[in-house]
Amino acid sequence: MPRLFVKRLAALASVLLCAHVAIAQSSLSPTPPMGWNSWNHFFQHVTDADVRASADAMVANGMGDAGYVYVNIDDGWQGTRRPDGTIQSNDRFPDMKALADYVHARGLKLGIYSSPGPKTCAKFEGSYGHEAQDAKTYAAWGIDYLKYDLCSFGDKLTVAGNGDQAAPAAFAAQQEAYRKMHDALVAAGRPIVFSLCQYGMSNVWEWGPEVGGHLWRTTGDISDKYDRMALIGFSQAGLSRYAGPGHWNDPDMLEVGNGGMTLDEYRTHMSLWAILAAPLLAGNDLSHMKPEHLAILENKDVIAIDQDSLGKQGDRVSALGPYELWTKPLSHGRTAIALFNRGELAHTMRVNLRELGVPPGAHIRNVWGNADLPFSDIINPIIPKHGVVLLLVTR
What amino acid positions are annotated as catalytic residues? 149, 221
CA angle 281–283–286, rounded 5-degree value:
105
- Closest CB to ligand GLA among residues 42, 326: 42
CB 303 within 8 A of CB 254: no
- Nearest-CB residue for ligand GLA: 121
Instruction: Based on the shown chain and the rule CB under 6 A, indicate whether residue 125 belongs to the binding site for ligand GLA.
Output: no
Q: Which stretch binds ligand GLA (CB under 6 A): 119-127, 230-238, 309-317, 326-334?
A: 119-127
Q: Which stretch binds ligand GLA (CB under 6 A): 116-124, 276-284, 355-363, 376-384?
A: 116-124
Specify which residues 148 forms β-bridges with.
114, 196
Least distance in Å: CB of 220 to ligand GLA?
Answer: 7
- Closest CB to ligand GLA among residues 78, 268: 78
- Closest CB to ligand GLA among residues 100, 197: 197
- Alpha-carbon span 205 to 248, nearest angstrom: 8
At residue 145, φ and ψ (nearest 5 deg) are -160, 135
Least distance in Å: CB of 375 to ligand GLA?
Answer: 43
Q: Count of residues binding ligand GLA (CB under 6 A)?
A: 9
Instruction: Based on the shown chain and the rule CB under 6 A, indicate whether residue 74 belongs to the binding site for ligand GLA.
Output: yes
Q: Which stretch binds ligand GLA (CB under 6 A): 65-73, 115-123, 166-174, 203-211?
A: 115-123
Binding to ligand GLA, residues 145-204 (CB under 6 A): 149, 197
What CA–CA distances, in Å, run from 256 to 110, 215, 285, 296, 366?
21, 21, 10, 8, 20
| Residue 158 CB coordination number (10 Å) | 15
Least distance in Å: CB of 143 to ligand GLA?
Answer: 16
**Nearest one of 300, 322, 336, 291 to 384, comparing CA atoms:** 322
Identify residue 103 by its one-letter amino acid code.
Answer: V
Query: In terms of DSSP H, where are the helices of 61-167?
Result: 63-66, 96-105, 131-141, 153-160
Contact pick of 121, 185, 280, 304 for ligand GLA (by CB under 6 A): 121
Binding to ligand GLA, residues 12-41 (CB under 6 A): 39
- Alpha-carbon span 277 to 12, nearest angstrom: 39
- Closest CB to ligand GLA among residues 216, 323: 216
CB 322 within 8 A of CB 343: yes
Is 79 exposed, middle or buried, given 0-12, 13-18 or 19+ CB atoms closer than 10 A? middle
Q: Which stretch binds ligand GLA (CB under 6 A): 117-125, 181-189, 326-334, 357-365?
A: 117-125
Least distance in Å: CB of 269 to ligand GLA?
Answer: 16
Binding to ligand GLA, residues 216-235 (CB under 6 A): 221
Distance spanning both ends of the chain, measured CA to CA:
66
**Nearest one of 294, 284, 260, 262 to 66, comparing CA atoms:** 294
- Closest CB to ligand GLA among residues 111, 387: 111
Instruction: Based on the shown chain and the rule CB under 6 A, indicate whether residue 265 belongs to the binding site for ligand GLA.
Output: no
- Alpha-carbon span 217 to 211, nearest angstrom: 14
Query: Rule CB under 6 A: which residues touch ligand GLA?
Result: 39, 74-75, 120-122, 149, 197, 221
